[in-house]
Amino acid sequence: FRVVVVASRGAAVVMLRATAGMRLLSTQVQKAIYDSLHASVASRPGFRSVSREDFGTLSGEQEGIFGWLAVNYLLCGAGRLELNALGTVGALDLGGGSTQITLAMRHASSRADATQLV
């Protein structure tokens, strides 16, 4: 709560998304954790309406996509790396609960072709 200055809290959107470790827990345990976190954030004065739907667990696919976007934004957008022919870099996230390997594909005729889960 210290990152968002008090004067800007009324405009701040609060979202919380967990990754693989949370996916290991049962749906009931996840719900209890998110309900508690939501209640804690929603009870803080100064924030605009905090939606319970903004607290949840990312799928492995979503986790990989967000990781890939972050890597490409930080490295490619800043001109720190020489890019491949697609103008992006691939990303490997080897975590404690899951692994995502994400990269842009040259030809994908559909979302099913573009998303390959192993």
- 46 assigned binding-site residue: no
Tell me, rounded to whole angstroms, the distance of Cα 71 from its chain centroid: 12
Q: If 0-12 CB within 10 Å is exposed, 13-18 middle and 19+ buried, where does residue 80 land?
A: exposed
Give yes or no: 63 in active site. yes
Q: If 0-12 CB within 10 Å is exposed, 13-18 middle and 19+ buried, where does residue 33 land?
A: middle
- 109 assigned binding-site residue: no
Half-sphere exposure of 8 (CA within 13 A, CB side): 8
- 97 assigned binding-site residue: yes
- 96 assigned binding-site residue: yes
- 98 assigned binding-site residue: yes
Cite the active site residues. Answer: 63
Annotated binding site for ATP: 96-100
